Every structure is written in C-alpha cells, then in structure tokens.
Structure 1
Amino acid sequence: MRVWHQLTDFVQRHGAAALITVHDVKGSAPREVGARMVVRPDGAFHGTIGGGQLEFRMLDIAREMLMAGRGPARIVDQALGPDLGQCCGGRVKILIETFDGRDMEDLSGLTEAEAEGGLFELECRLEDGRVKRDFASAVGDDRWTGWRETHGEARTPVLLFGAGHVGRALVLTLAPLPFAVRWLDDREGAFPSHVPPNVRAVRMRDPAAEIDGARPDSFILVMTHDHPLDMAITVAALRRDFPYVGLIGSATKRARFEKRFRELGLPEAKIRSLVCPVGLPGIAGKDPAVIAASVTAQLLQVREQGRLAGNLSPPAASNDR
C-alpha cells in the first residue's frame, strides 16, 4: 500500500484522515513494526495491522481522534493476551496520527518520494505533540533524537513474456504484491486496455535485448504463443544468473527443450535450474487462474527465501501448451 498517496487522497476527498502504525513490538504480534492503516472519517480504511480485536480497538480510537479534529499524536501501549484475548500474547505500541488540509505540503513531499519507487527512510520526532518527519540524512546528526521509519516498497522485477490467458491471469494475481512486472508480447493488440499499476505492458521488438537489459535480481517467466520464441527467450535467460527462470509447459515440453539446450551447449546446472512446469508441486489444475495462483505463490516463496530457482524441488504440476 502506498501510505502517503492514500493519506493524501483521503485528505483531499474527505477533509481528514488518520494513520495507524505498529510502532513497537515485543513478543508475538499479528504484524511487524511498520505495518500501517489509513482511516477515513467515516471509518473506511486501507491496510491492516493484523485484524482481530487489536485492529478494531485502534480503529475506534482513530475515529474518535478524527471526530475531535486534527490534534496531537497518540501512542497506545497494548498487551494482546490479557487485554484483548489474542493468542499471540505479545505487546505492541500503536502510533495514531490525524491529518487534514494543513498537512498537504508535508504530505506532497512524502507522496512524491513514494512515487519514485523503492525504499526510503524518515527521521521522526515529536514536536508540539505531533510527529515531525524529515528525510534521513546519510551523514546523521548526533543531536537528533527520535525514531526512524522505513517507507515505500522494494519490488522484485518480473519479466513476463506472453499475454495469453495465463499471462493475463498472472498479472492480476501479482497486482497487489511486491513485484514490478514488465509484460512483454510481440503481437499487436495482445494486451488488455487496462493493466494494474505495478505492470508495464510493452510491445516486444527484441527479446534478447530485454533479457540483456534485465536487472540481475529479476524473475523471468516465459509463456508466449510460440514455442520457438519460448526457446529463444529461455536460452537467453539461462545464459545469465537470474534467481528464477520459469517456462510454462509439461514434462514432455521440458524434455524436448532440454535436448535443444544441450545441443546449444548450455551447462547441465543451468538446465537443471529451469523451473518447468511452473508453479508449486501438487497443484495440477490447468485453469489459467489456478496456474497463476500457483506460480504467484512460487514467486513469493523464491523471493522470501532468497534461493536460486535451481535449489527448488522440481515442480510436479503440468502446464500443457
């Protein structure tokens, strides 16, 4: 969630908004430090700090603060077990702030930083009861006392080759997740009229150039309409060291491609690193939405674990093409 964008939007359209932040955690808690919610005066909200009684109580406090008008920030020290009956049993501090039109200048700068992408750090302190935020300095200031917040998202780049049924389903499942998708197809009119904000649809002219220009941490997914094109893209990808190279297809397709890979002189380790069929083992459905869900879970797994695709167990699914 783009927190500052959402806050700005709520303030502009509804006159005010509240920001709820998990400020500190001791022991087990539903969400980590930095989890956030943005709340409208009518109680509607975006984001979550974990749901359950904790979230309900913080929403009530935020609405009360919004009804009272823009005022000082509040830190709520909340035990989860004895106070709320939540099984996690830890303790959290929740920071709740209110904003209105007087904050638009500050919100504008933060929204711009968020729109640039990537992570950025803020130095925060209480000033007259409200949180004052400044962009963190690389040099630092010994006189500064307060805390630091991290904002933005570190999105993993994904090159998705192919705008067929599975490709279309996949961009929808990736839409709310921390991926930046470059969606590539060489056919005119292949893309839908609208794509999610984290997707850039590109009419592909030179597949090899796309692979050559990709960041080293990119995930590569190949599912075009043409097997020779699949082959060319996959070979180019396997000649680099990407964390994940996935090719849609059955075990039979993989065997045929492997034969050609060896003829082209690709090392066996590179051939073994290819994920084909794509998706988590045990999910064998061939409906595009099922394949998309399975592949998305696999990408999240690779992203979270930080493993190379070659270290994954060979998937047992079949994505016949």
Structure 2
Amino acid sequence: MRELFGAILALPAEQPVALARIIDRTGPGPRDTGAAMAVAADGQVIGSLSGGCVEAAVVTTARQVLRDGHASTERFAAADEFAVGLPCGGEIEVFVERLDATDRPLIRALVTALAAHEPIAYATTLEATPDRRLLYPGRVEPWRDLDRDAAALLAAGHSGLVGAQDCTPAAATRPRAFVQVFRSPARLILAGANDYTRALTVAATQLGYHVTVVDARETFTTPARFPAADAVVVDWPHRYLDAERRAGRVDERTVVCVLTHDAKFDVPMLACALRLPAVAFVGALGSRRAHADRTARLREAGLTAAEIARVRSPLGLDLAAHTPEETAISVLAQILAERGGASARPLADLDGPIHRP
C-alpha cells in the first residue's frame, strides 16, 4: 500500500486514478483490510486486491468510477456458479474512489509522512461530499464528527470503519468512513500463561492489539494454548520486557498486564514496567489482599509511592465478571476507558452526546 501511493504520484498529474481498497473483511481472505489496487485512466493496473479472484470485477467498477467520478462500494462473498466471489469462503467489502489532480497534495503529504516513518491515517467518507478525505494528524477543524474515532484508530494502530452504519439521521453528521492507519499496532504484553490470559488474547486482538504472552514455564507457554496471540515467548516476563525496552519496541501505547498470581514473577515484572519512561497502562490481576502484598514487596524493591500508585489492581471494572471470558471484557473495558479519558459510567447516567466532540 505504501508503494502504491508513490506509484500513483509517478503517473502524469493530469491522469485520474481509481483507487480500490478492501475496507472490511469477514472470514478467510487472500488480503487484509487496507489492501489496495489502482486503475489508471490509460488502463494501467497497479497493486492487487485479492490475488485475482475478484479483480476483474473491481477493474470494471474502477473504469466506471473513472468515467463518472462517483465512488462505489461492493461486497464479494463466497464464489458460486452464478456470481464472482472468493473461493476461500470469506467476504470482503471493496471501496473504489477517483483521485485526480486536486487530490495530489494530499497524496504527496501522505507519501512524505510514510517516508519519514511518521504515524498517519488516511480517512475517507464513503459518500460524495466536498470534504470527504483528509489526513490525521494535521487537521485542525472538526471533520464530520468523526475526529475522535479516527484519532482512536490511529492511537491503536488499527484501520477500520467508523461513523453511521445505517440510514439513521446520524449519517448526516457522522457518515460511514474508512480510516486507513499506517502505524504499527499498539502492544498488549500479558505476563502469565493461564485461562485468563487466553481469553484476553482473543478479545484484545479484536481491538487491534498486537498481543504477546510471556511466561517462564515452558510447559504452559505454547502457541497451541494461545492461538490468538501474535507472539508466545518462554522467558522471565521482566527480562523479556526489559529486552523489548532496550530494542525500542515499548512506547506510550504499550499496555502491560500481570496475570501470574506469583510474587516471583509479578513483582519483578511490575517493577520493570513501572520504571519504563513511557507506557500506557500497567495492571495486575488478583484480590485486594494480593495487591496489598504486592504493594509491600514493590516498596521493598525500592519503588516510590507514586510509581506503585500507577498499578491498576484489582484489575478490571465492576461487571460481576467470573469466567475468564467475562474477566477479559472487564479488563479491556477499563483499558479503553483510561485510554480515552472516559468515566466508564453507564451512558444512560450521562448527559450530552454519546460520541464526544
């Protein structure tokens, strides 16, 4: 995708281009959300959407978009004998828009940011409006009441659809839009290989987190037990976290949760996490008694009261959670609320719009 925008700029400025992107995907598919293909007015095709199974149909649509300038959205499901589709059995939604000379400054700014490895998002409404595409960050004026959604996706490093998903009045102010993010995903590092960790990996990946499970016990720490995790590491958690810090792979978006219930694992891990110069959230699962014991041990390890106060424990919101799956929702709800500066109170108890300005 990064190379594709550069290739578009290399085309003659007066030549319009139809840009086709996968904006949603369900089930298996040959390409991920955000995969793109461009069709130039001279017939040149750049990039690939699906390895060929629906590309002929998309090229036909792209040529129509080039002719009339009207954006198009199409869904392709599993193939059958009567319709074009995906042999893998999944489903994708493809958005095709026309880019011409007036869009070159925006594309040039995007290519410049990508070359500098700056986090950036390309947001496009799926409707024809005068103000239908822009880049984040860099926008000062409010944009279609979607700024908070786009900012949240950029912070998470996760592309996705935002805005109204139907024909309700909200679509007038919050149109359906695709935000394509060019940034590595936010990290969730889970210390401890147990059932709660497994439930958290499943739920967190749905939110776009890159999830790592780390535990020193080789018997329990296997990819087979945590199939949803992006990485499963056999190591002492604090040693792994320190190595990631030294490698520059921990930043202000990184979330660290300790789930071990074992002082020899969780105290060194918490001490390491709390001394990091930048980390989004540090939490520890366990009872109030367990947290009191950890607090005393962290104090003995030389941490200050201010550092210890950053630990969120007992971890999670009060949702009457009991099972690992319920607890995962409780924990992630707290992380989301703190990340967004929200109250975590019921919306019915609050005044004003549901979506914050």
TM-score (norm. length: structure 1): 0.54
Q: Hey, which of these two has a bigger chunk of strand by percent?
A: 1
Q: Is 1:138 aligned to 2:175, yes or no?
A: no
Answer whether contact 1:166 1:289 (CA < 8 A) is retained: yes
Answer whether contact 2:284 2:311 (CA < 8 A) is retained: yes
Of 266, 269, 272, the residue aligned with 1:230 is 266
* Runs (5+) with no aligned partner, structure 1: 19-64, 77-94, 101-123, 140-145, 314-321
Counting only pairs closer than 5 Å after superposition, residues 179-258 of structure 1 correspond to structure 2 as 179-189=209-219, 190-193=221-224, 195-196=227-228, 199-205=230-236, 207-211=238-242, 213-214=244-245, 215-217=250-252, 218-224=254-260, 226-241=262-277, 242-258=279-295
Answer whether contact 2:49 2:55 (CA < 8 A) is retained: no
C-alpha spacing 1:206/1:243, structure 2 compared with 1 (3 Å): closer
Deviation at 1:292, TM superposition (A): 0.5
Deviation at 1:206, TM superposition (A): 6.0
Structure 1 distance, partners of 2:195, 2:182, is 28
Of 142, 151, 155, the residue aligned with 2:180 is 151
**SS of 1:182 mapped into structure 2:** strand
Of 92, 99, 112, the residue aligned with 1:125 is 99
**SS of 1:195 mapped into structure 2:** coil
1:265 is aligned to 302
User: Any idea what the Cα deviations from partners look like across 1:88-119, whole Å, max 9, x if unmatched?
Assistant: xxxxxxx326799xxxxxxxxxxxxxxxxxxx
C-alpha spacing 1:173/1:209, structure 2 compared with 1 (3 Å): closer
2:145 is aligned to none
Deviation at 1:178, TM superposition (A): 2.6
TM-score (norm. length: structure 2): 0.49
**SS of 1:234 mapped into structure 2:** helix
Deviation at 1:256, TM superposition (A): 0.9
1:71 is aligned to 64
C-alpha spacing 1:206/1:173, structure 2 compared with 1 (3 Å): closer
Of 277, 282, 299, the residue aligned with 2:335 is 299
User: Any idea what the Cα deviations from partners look like across 1:185-205, whole Å, max 9, x if unmatched?
Assistant: 222242342633x72222225
Q: Is 1:287 aligned to 2:316, yes or no?
A: no
Of 2, 8, 13, the residue aligned with 2:53 is 13
Residues 173-182 or 7-16, more deviating: 7-16
User: Any idea what the Cα deviations from partners look like across 1:153-208, whole Å, max 9, x if unmatched?
Assistant: 54221211112000000000011213122221222242342633x72222225623
Deviation at 1:300, TM superposition (A): 1.9
Answer whether contact 1:10 1:17 (CA < 8 A) is retained: no
Answer whether contact 1:158 1:179 (CA < 8 A) is retained: yes
Answer whether contact 2:241 2:272 (CA < 8 A) is retained: no
C-alpha spacing 1:6/1:298, structure 2 compared with 1 (3 Å): farther
Larger RCO of the pair (alpha carbons < 8 Å, separation 6+) = 1
Structure 1 distance, partners of 2:215, 2:344, is 28
C-alpha spacing 1:293/1:160, structure 2 compared with 1 (3 Å): same
Alignment RMSD (CA, Å): 3.9
Letter in 2 for 1:216: D
